[in-house]
Structure 1
Amino acid sequence: MTTLMPRPLLTSLADPGNGGEDRHAVRVGDAALTRSELISAAAAVADEITGATSVAIDATASIETVIAVTGCLMAGVPAVPVPPDSGPAERNHILKDSGAQLWLGAYREDVALPSVLVDSRARSGSTHREPDLGSAAMIMYTSGTTGAPKGVVLSRSAVAAGLDGLADAWDWGPDDTLVHGLPLFHVHGLILGVVGALRHGSPLVHTVRPTPESYAAEGGSLYFGVPTVWSRVCADEAVARALGSARLLVSGSAPLPVPVFERMRALTGSAPIERYGMSETIITLSTRFDCERRPGWVGLPLRGVATRLRDQAGNPVPHDGETLGQLEIAGPTLFDGYLGNFEKTAESMTDDGWFKTGDIAVVDEQGFHRIVGRESIDMIKSGGYRIGAGEVEQALLNHPDVREAAVVGVPDDDLGQRIVAYVVGDCDDHRELSNFVAQTLSIHKRPREIRAVDVLPRNAMGKVQKKLLVEDYRAGR
């Protein structure tokens, strides 16, 4: 596969080619900077950190975080975004594991690293050489669902290739204004939502929090959100209709329920864009601005990315839109490895260099992908059948009285695993709800048990934490 060499990151940040030096490049809440102001403020940070092996950033939803990340990219120092709400154990693990030498942010008594205060009013005219494209740009820490968070090393070339692939898929450029309020310590909010906007020259408006009202007030052309955000937008018809002037509404980080997809299309007049990726791959699949947008499907590989499905024996899986397979990915957006963890890195790769995502998917004849779920938690083996939790969840969400649903497999002496559904909604007749699923899916895919809950446990990106549900079930709660 031939891969085009992407434009260097620093060059594109300093000169996106849009001639918009005097307009706001970024606004976070009430704080705004033009591109020239951002570059000079970031240069002041770069002056302070040049030579460090890596630096940790107190990744609050603030203009200071944008400046700090830009400064790291200018200085060629890997940035380590730290969630501001992380507990002491998680934060200390990230700081120790990453080897960060400085803390970019306000002084904290519980952080032993020397602090560098990021001042949005600081200015420097210094320039910095473009680091090698193969050098590390960021070290992003995973959510730690299978142990302590692992540091995902992303090169400058991987970030550039991923963002350029999205520009091609979404026709993303200087004429867009990007609006989002997502956390600035994940791929979605930080790499796509900040570095992407700066690379492609589109002004960024970060709303601090992703509330429907703040989204509707900004009049952007490109919006990023997670399914929880879009569900709340659709709950306010006036807000949803206000987004009808937007060019693209992008959903990611978790599956978008089909009813929310359909309501977004009905209220805004435009079907949302769905995409798929993870910390280790950035974004690899997306529906395109000029092609079909199919509810429940995340589209086609980005430019330069290749995918394949394999069964448990390593054999190819047919692209028939139905047969489940383990999704593997190759291409220029892949990470360099888990920091200091050669064993885990090797486990995640095939012998011929493909990354094992750990996700189960189907691909149809046109190359469209549908993600069924995580192999470790969403692939349920019940009564000799392999059942994807995602398809059962979508069937439940089609019931008018179900607002949210999460499906897990729990140990069962007879079946191996029993399908248990946690639902948020107003349906008291659980037998009727189980039969409703059996009317649209094979009868063996119906939930054997349904539990009504007020809320589902979610992380900062809106993903349901199913391991907590399984733990609660096993504990008899």
Structure 2
Amino acid sequence: MRLLDSLHQSADLDRVVVTPEGTLSRHELLGRASGVAAAIAGERIVAVEATPGLSTIVAVTGALLAGVPIVPIPPDAGSLERAHILRDSGAKLIKSKMSEMSGEISEPSPDAPALVLYTSGTTGAPKGVVISRAAIAAGLDGLAEAWQWTPDDTLVHGLPLYHVHGLVLGVLGPLRLGSRLVHTHKPTPAAYASTQGTMYFGVPTVWSRIAADPAAARALAPARLLVSGSAPLPVPVFDALAALTGQAPVERYGMTETLITVSARADGERRPGHVGLPLTGVETRLVGADRDGESIGHLEVRGPTLLDGYLHDGGVRPPELTDGWFPTGDVATIGPDGWHRIVGRASTDLIKTGGYRVGAGEVEDTLLLHPAVREAAVVGLPHADLGEQITAFVVADPVAPDELITFVAERLAAHKRPRAVHLVDSLPRNGMGKVQKSVLIAG
């Protein structure tokens, strides 16, 4: 099976890609992408300004047809970030407005590199992650099984087209599996509510805004799946979506280097605060955790969706694996039944305080239960006696910090309560809507 198998079924003239700027049938998309493929054939690596819409979809599809690795550049990247990506990758910037061509194109080996996706750079300069065609195919097929994703589905989302969630799942998924894609350009409650689909993709910020708009949420009730990822979904948002739409959202876990590895199932249980079970072919393990299903450990994964490596000095530096296991840098728990709960990044979400290990997410979820709290981020700050002090940054209606500290202490073990609560107007977030805890820690 070719990576973009359904795209080659060009006799199907249905409008496979729909955006506010226009629509393309499979036949039209294949023709335009073939023009791009012909124009870049033989290039070592190319890049595209990944603006939302047809031009990016055509460019990425064309590069995949040509067998040329492609680097999507975030359209909101600053000048330094953009220059770093182009310099580090050595990619030639391309445009997708090429003439249509026809004829059969032979796709390259499954082991050939397909995408170079740059990390967010939270621990240094962004790194170019090299992902093979085989890894993408394995990841999408695993999700097709878990989510019962078929050509009869219509996927709706407005996520950016330069990362795993919006590009690999949100564009290459429909092109491989044959479903229809409607990209709304922006993931607003109004855009989602006015677009009929069977599957909707969003990050927690998107779902939080939809849950706060009951009419928009209820408009999604006919959908088959509401999928959340890229960051933990707060339990109150999970509960609100379930109440308003009649179905609990599906959460999944992954990262740039591994693609999606763990997910709840379409026909199975969906638990708030949990991301489900490993996909077929994927294995997970915890390092440094007791085997009680409750202890926090460092999550490692192995399977067919792992990266080839990182771009380095004009070549690819393989990842550092232990018997095939990739250290995700995240901490998690795995219950006796195999269900995973992601605590967060080991560097910022595992707080070691007074001899205890505390997951920031559990404290955040508890703070969000308070009626005055709208957003919460919990970090560990250096403390002479405790090692790290649990510290909360909260966006809330008028409320006393001591009231929030007491609120948590009444619901969790005493050692898990914040020792300090800072009321702020907003939390720093990146383009994916993830809270930048490193900014909070740096002060």
Q: Is the partner of 1:48 in helix, strand or coil?
A: helix
1:397 aligns to what? 368
1:165 aligns to what? 142
Query: How far apart are the structure 2 equivalents of 1:161 and 1:300?
Result: 16
26-35 or 203-212, which moves further after superposition?
A: 26-35
Query: How far apart are the structure 1 equivalents of 2:245 and 2:266?
Result: 15
Q: Is the partner of 2:101 in helix, strand or coil?
A: coil
Query: How far apart are the structure 1 equivalents of 2:244 and 2:285?
Result: 36
Structure 1 residues 6-60: Cα deviation after superposition (integer angstroms, max 9, x where no partner): x221434323xxx872211101213110000000000000010010011001100
1:385 aligns to what? 356
Q: 2:153 aligns with which of 147, 168, 176?
A: 176
Q: 1:462 to 1:132 in 2, by over 3 A?
A: same
Q: 1:194 aligns with which of 150, 166, 171?
A: 171
1:331 corresponds to 2:303: yes
Structure 1 residues 425-472: Cα deviation after superposition (integer angstroms, max 9, x where no partner): 114221111111111211011001101111111111110000011112
Query: How far apart are the structure 2 equivalents of 1:317 and 1:168?
Result: 31
Q: Does structure 2 retain, via aligned residues, the 8 Å contact 1:427–1:433?
A: no
Q: Does structure 2 retain, via aligned residues, the 8 Å contact 1:8–1:157?
A: no
Q: Is the partner of 2:312 in helix, strand or coil?
A: coil
What is the letter of the counterpart of residue 14 of structure 1?
Answer: H
Query: How far apart are the structure 2 equivalents of 1:208 and 1:63?
Result: 10
Q: 1:345 to 1:299 in 2, by over 3 A?
A: farther
Query: How far apart are the structure 1 equivalents of 2:208 and 2:297?
Result: 29
Q: Is the partner of 1:244 in helix, strand or coil?
A: coil
1:249 corresponds to 2:249: no
Structure 1 residues 307-327: Cα deviation after superposition (integer angstroms, max 9, x where no partner): 00111xxxx641x33111110
1:357 aligns to what? 328
Q: 2:66 aligns with which of 71, 75, 87?
A: 75
2:129 aligns to what? 152
1:306 aligns to what? 283
Query: How far apart are the structure 1 equivalents of 2:314 and 2:106?
Result: 30
1:129 Cα deviation after fit: 1.4
Query: How far apart are the structure 2 equivalents of 1:427 and 1:187?
Result: 38
> What aligned pairs does 1:5-404 form with structure 2 within 5 A after superposition?
7-15=1-9, 21-100=12-91, 102-104=92-94, 117-119=95-97, 122-311=99-288, 317-318=290-291, 320-340=292-312, 349-404=320-375
2:412 aligns to what? 441
5+ residue gaps, structure 1, are 1-6, 105-116, 473-477
What is the letter of the counterpart of residue 56 of structure 1?
Answer: A
What is the letter of the counterpart of residue 117 of structure 2?
Answer: M
1:126 Cα deviation after fit: 3.5
Q: Does structure 1 retain, via aligned residues, the 8 Å contact 2:205–2:433?
A: yes
Q: 1:297 to 1:20 in 2, by over 3 A?
A: farther
Q: Is the partner of 1:339 in helix, strand or coil?
A: strand
Q: 1:96 to 1:11 in 2, by over 3 A?
A: same
1:119 Cα deviation after fit: 2.1
Q: Is the partner of 2:410 in helix, strand or coil?
A: helix
Query: How far apart are the structure 2 equivalents of 1:287 and 1:326?
Result: 21
Q: Does structure 1 retain, via aligned residues, the 8 Å contact 2:390–2:420?
A: yes
Structure 1 residues 184-227: Cα deviation after superposition (integer angstroms, max 9, x where no partner): 00100000000001111111000000010010111110000001
Q: Does structure 1 retain, via aligned residues, the 8 Å contact 2:372–2:399?
A: no
1:114 aligns to what? none
Please, what TM-score do these two structures have when normalized by structure 2? 0.97
Q: Does structure 2 retain, via aligned residues, the 8 Å contact 1:43–1:127?
A: no
Query: How far apart are the structure 2 equivalents of 1:317 and 1:336?
Result: 31
5+ residue gaps, structure 2, are none
Query: How far apart are the structure 2 equivalents of 1:12 and 1:204?
Result: 13
Q: Is the partner of 1:435 in helix, strand or coil?
A: helix
Query: How far apart are the structure 2 equivalents of 1:28 and 1:291?
Result: 32
What is the letter of the counterpart of residue 97 of structure 2?
Answer: D
Query: How far apart are the structure 1 equivalents of 2:436 and 2:317?
Result: 24
Query: How far apart are the structure 1 equivalents of 2:212 and 2:66?
Result: 44
Query: How far apart are the structure 1 equivalents of 2:72 and 2:25?
Result: 23
Structure 1 residues 169-188: Cα deviation after superposition (integer angstroms, max 9, x where no partner): 00001111000000000100
Q: Does structure 1 retain, via aligned residues, the 8 Å contact 2:11–2:27?
A: no
1:350 Cα deviation after fit: 3.6
- Cα RMSD of the aligned pairs, angstroms, is 1.6
Query: How far apart are the structure 2 equivalents of 1:175 and 1:260?
Result: 28
Query: How far apart are the structure 1 equivalents of 2:281 and 2:3?
Result: 18
Please, what TM-score do these two structures have when normalized by structure 1? 0.90
Query: How far apart are the structure 2 equivalents of 1:345 and 1:38?
Result: 34
> What aligned pairs does 1:420-435 form with structure 2 within 5 A after superposition?
420-435=391-406
